[in-house]
Amino acid sequence: MSADAGPAAPPCVLFEDEHLLVVNKPAGVNTHAPAPFAGEGIYDWLRHREPRWAGLAIIHRLDKETSGVLVFGKTPLANRSLTEQFTRRAVRKKYLLLTDRPVPGKPFTVKSNLIRSGEKYASQRGGTSGEAAETRFLVLNSSFILHPSSFSLVEAEPLTGRTHQIRVHAAESGFPILGDTLYGGTGAARVCLHAAELRFKHPATQAEIIFSAPADFTADARLALRAAFIADGEPNACRLIHGAADGWPGWHVERLGDFLLSQGEAELIPKQRQTLEELARSFRARGVYHKILNRQIRRAAAAENSPQFVFGEPAPEAFLIRENGVQFELSFGEGYSVGLFLDQRDNRRRLLTGHIAADFPLLNSKLKTQNSKLEVLNVFAYTCGFSACAARAGARATSLDLSKKYLEWGRRNFALNGLDSAAHDFIFGDAFDWMKRLAKKGRAFDAVILDPPTFSQSKAGGAFRAEKDFGRLVNAALPLVKPGGVLFASTNAAGLPPENFLGTISRAVADTGRKITQQHYAPQPPDFPITRAEPGYLKTVWLRVA
């Protein structure tokens, strides 16, 4: 069945109509968030992305490391119909798997009861404990070539829908799935299990429909995950390697338009350089740069903190990237940061669309009047990325920063997007001092953006450390938030746990006598995956404050 999701649909969407949303889930992302601060699953990311997806319902699930076809319900009719079809086993599911172990040549069926045993499930023949599970297996190709070895490609049809069912039954039958080390499989870049086909009756028409997605076990799993969420070329900036989450502890690589930026605490090793060469070919990068992360950043000169040219073509003094239809100027010659923080991409999109999360619009309808513009204050504005997105959406943006150089950079970002900077305010000075001044003048904003550096210092305000001073920052900002307005608070302070961060903000709001009426916690985007080996660091909360 062909997709009909419209231009706003991300690449993972296979089909959408009034009742259904069907996606091709990549390996490496959960169906739904496993814990409050563990990163979004594909369901959470989709549900909060578009207003029309606010009512999405989970009907079935795929394991984090399993890719393939996943269907969500959009209406009560669809939810009832699909749940009923799954319950009476009327939905036909076909999976494909790879294994490097011998597989019986003839089709066969495995029946057993599955019992939870720690992180795993154990298979038990006979008895009454556990849940009954049944899987049919069929070898499709016994000489599938995945350089430098050959494997068997096997079709699996689960007749029941138990957690880890196919993985347990394959291992029990002597052919654990390639990459499934939990069940004895040979190590690989991913678990080579893919939900290839889903067949059921449409909830409204009752016509039989089939959704399928081809398996590609040869693809780079890291790039496949990004490709599911980020359309080819738009944006043309994202993180390609995120440390230990992508098998490279302490190393990060970003695509920035026509260039790649590598970051680590040491010089590149040969294997990293080889990986960069492969990525450069894949994305047709003109040049590659490497930045050695410096813990003494404030003591080093800009040239020492700037990325260094590695190979290819040197970047010009300034170059452009695209993100959600907005252009930004970047530079490798301005010190530690290149001009835009990619981990805030989804939050900038929220300002562009006016949609924060499911049932959480940016502008409270009670505040909206026919002749007024949305007023946004961007504190610690840096190069005004949030401001440019708010202005593109029709808001009047006030950008506040301690650096004249960055505010001028922000004006250039406005000009790149056809925005008249003269229609907006750019304020140079200390954040605390100016928030106090604005409050005395009676200024109030529909949204206030707080995304401070982990550490900053000014003559007027002294030292600011996010881990101990965020509450003070919120207290200073709240008088500027209109009743029913939105406060955005974000930090990348790795040493500040999300629970403590949210607690600090809640106490600061309560101390002023105001009340939080809506709250949405937004972790870092999918190209910054959160794993046990690479915990999340970016913490963001959107609050509506009465």
Residues designated as active site: 63
Cβ-proximal residues to 470 (8 Å cutoff; 6+ apart), any chain: 452, 489, 491, 496, 501, 504, 505, 508
Task: Give me the DSSP letters along 237-288.
Answer: EEEEEEGGGGT-TT-EEEEETTEEEEEESSPPPHHHHHHHHHHHHHHT-SEE
CA–CA dist 64, 178 (Å, integer): 15
From residue 486, alpha-carbon distances to 48, 91, 410, 445, 545 in Å are: 17, 44, 23, 9, 6
Q: Are 100 and 149 in contact (CB under 8 A)?
A: yes
Q: Which of 31, 45, 34 is nearest to 229 (CA)?
A: 45
At 248, which amino acid appears? W
Helices assigned H by DSSP within 3-106? 42-47, 76-87
Neighbours of 441 (CB within 10 A): 8
Prior bond of 235 cis (ω within 30°)? yes
For the record, the structure tokens of 216 come out as 């590609």
User: What pairs with residue 23 in β-bridges?
Assistant: 13, 70
